[in-house]
Amino acid sequence: MGEIFQDPGLMARASSAIYASFAIALCVASLDLVVGLPFAWFVARGRSRWLNIIDTLADLPFIIPTVTLGYSLLVFWNRSEGVSQFFGGNPLVSEGWLLIALLHFAFSFPAVVRVIVGAILDYRVVYEEAARTLGAAPLTADRTVTLPILKSSLIAAFVLAFSRSLSETGATVIVAGAFETGVVFINNTRVQHEGSMVFVSLILILTASLLYLVIRLLGPRFKVPVKRVWPYAERKLGGFKMRVSRDSLASLIFFMFVLIPSLFIVLPVVGALTNGTVNQAIGGIGVWQGYWQSLLLSYSVAVVVTALNVLLSLPMAVLIARKRWGAGASTALDVLSNVPLIVPSIALGASMAIFWESFAFIPEVALIIFAHMSITYPYFVRAMVGAVERVTMDLEEASRTLGARPFAVFRTIILPLTKYSLFAGIIMMFARSVDETGATLAVVSNLKTAPVLLVGWVNDLERGAMSASNVALGAGVLVMFSFIILLVLRLAVRGRY
């Protein structure tokens, strides 16, 4: 690691890369909140039956393997087949910091929306009603009453987006070009300058952990400004026309900057329907040999990982939220549970490979499950901590005084009152497991999950050894199955239809 201190040029590169990582993560997480909050509001409070579909569409970028997503965004924003064709063929967005920010916004937006939608659905609307009967316009009631009560979930959403932006590697490397963020620096230097890679990883992890510690300690003390009210302006801003405009703008941003760029790679699927690719896919011919097993493996792993993590991380969420071991221990556990989120996935994968190497007797599928459990664990904890904190202690105490044992309290009081956040956590874990690539690549040698297979296909596509329709259909089938599973789950929980 000493070499970086002896090479000022390398140190300068590392410093500016770390700075870029934090700057981009901060911008992306802030933008996620600014756009994600109205979008989540629209999805959670709207009355249209189509909102379930929009809500599920919002999860799609989460399902697409990040490398595929990165490639999709690169083609959409940068290549002549994408939007650039409408601007004279020159790249509309060059490879670099802006494309990285667009990419990170696309894949972190679903996590932010998921956490906020869960929080809004769990929220007791009576406070908002009280504010309205006291004369507050809807926007005033939302700003001065609802938002402060949802503060813990908003912080959780920000932390998720920030962490994900900081640590994502595979897709970032694809769209970065010559620009270096922390993880791109790690990727570029990992072979020649292993010590530099460890140094930057450490700095990223320590700085981010410190930042979370500060957020954790100061977050509860941070007061959303509610004293100042601008009744006339807020009434106008919250009026029907403005509300429709706000919902439309949030939806437009979601479609234009998240959904369409993320799914752009699936567009050639139209060609796949006519050029015989579908028949090959169904018959498992050529490159399609093994695709269906990979798909089955991905979903099976996701189900097992989700189930195991619900069992393992729910007690942790309750432990953190209820401060059962004291405030200090709760803060420490909270920060530690974030670590898998902060660690660059490339470093996490390498770390896991080294760790599990010593347990040679463990089957490969178990290694994939363990890797996915580590990576998805914080998503569920993050979603649930905020939700459990909103369930007041007196409800638990009431249940205990009625004779309920701790597990019965948990099952009959906490779970029903946090069911939407629980569901949000389950969706994020499931989707994150289905799309996980970097760490999976590091721990497998024979087995291929669908994202691992697709990464190979995308590489082949870049080399001209694979047709676009194969990649589109491969990614499209993965997205379609995930969409159906998530929609069915959502309908079962929310029962809108």
Partner 1 sequence: MQALPEVKVVNITRRFGKKILAVDNVSLQIHDKEYFSLLGPSGCGKTTLLRMIAGLVEPSEGEVYIDNKLVNKLPPEDRGIGFVFQTYALFPHMDVWDNVTYGPRVKAWEENRSESIGREMLEMVHLYGRKDALPHELSGGMMQRVALSRALAAGAKLLLLDEPLGALDAKIRFELRYDLRRLVKDLGLTAIHVTHDQGEAMAISDRIAVMKKGRILQVGTPQDLYTNPQHIFVANFIGENIFLEGHVIKTTDHRVQIELRGGLTASGSDTSVKEGERVVLAVRPETFTIEKGYTRKADSLLGVVERVRYEGTNIRYEVRLANEDMVVVVRPSLMEEWFNTGDKVTVSFPSEKSYVFPYPSRGLREELAVE
Q: Which residues of this chain interact with partner 1, rule CB under 8 A?
A: 126-127, 129-138, 140, 144-145, 148-149, 223-224, 226-227, 229-232, 392
The label of the residue with tokens 């996701």 reads: 302
How far apart CA 166 and CA 164 sit, in angstroms, is 5
Q: Which of 68, 8, 21, 110 is nearest to 347 (CA)?
A: 21
| Comparison of 57 and 131: residue with beta carbon closer to partner 1 | 131
* CB 228, min distance to partner 1, A: 8
* CB 220, min distance to partner 1, A: 11
**Which SS3 state, helix, strand or coil, does residue 91 take?**
coil
| Comparison of 395 and 488: residue with beta carbon closer to partner 1 | 395
Cα 355 to the chain's mean position, in Å? 25
| Comparison of 232 and 361: residue with beta carbon closer to partner 1 | 232
Q: Is 73 within 8 Å of 263 (Cβ atoms)?
A: no
| Comparison of 32 and 389: residue with beta carbon closer to partner 1 | 389
* CB 487, min distance to partner 1, A: 22
Q: Is 330 within 8 Å of 219 (Cβ atoms)?
A: no
DSSP 8-state code for residue 437: -
How far apart CA 224 and CA 205 sit, in angstroms, is 29
Q: Which of 161, 172, 220, 118 is nearest to 30 (CA)?
A: 161
| Comparison of 80 and 392: residue with beta carbon closer to partner 1 | 392
* CB 497, min distance to partner 1, A: 12
Amino acid identity at 91? P
DSSP 8-state code for residue 20: H
* CB 466, min distance to partner 1, A: 52
Q: At what angle do helices 419-435 and 291-322 cross, to 10 degrees?
A: 140
| Comparison of 218 and 312: residue with beta carbon closer to partner 1 | 218
How far apart CA 149 and CA 389 sit, in angstroms, is 11
Q: Is 58 within 8 Å of 113 (Cβ atoms)?
A: yes
The 10 Å Cβ neighbour count of residue 85 is 12
| Comparison of 230 and 255: residue with beta carbon closer to partner 1 | 230
The label of the residue with tokens 């992890």 reads: 205
* CB 130, min distance to partner 1, A: 4
* CB 138, min distance to partner 1, A: 7
Both tokens of 63, joined, read: 């399902």
Both tokens of 51, joined, read: 């909102």
| Comparison of 225 and 328: residue with beta carbon closer to partner 1 | 225
The angle at the Cα of 421, spanning 65 to 167, to the nearest 5 degrees, equals 35
| Comparison of 11 and 149: residue with beta carbon closer to partner 1 | 149
Q: Which of 434, 380, 360, 346 is nearest to 169 (CA)?
A: 346
How far apart CA 138 and CA 131 sit, in angstroms, is 9
| Comparison of 134 and 402: residue with beta carbon closer to partner 1 | 134
Alpha helices in 123-256 (DSSP H): 126-133, 138-141, 147-149, 151-167, 170-176, 182-189, 194-218, 231-237, 240-253
CA distances from 216 to 36, 211, 258, 335 (A): 22, 9, 29, 8
* CB 256, min distance to partner 1, A: 32
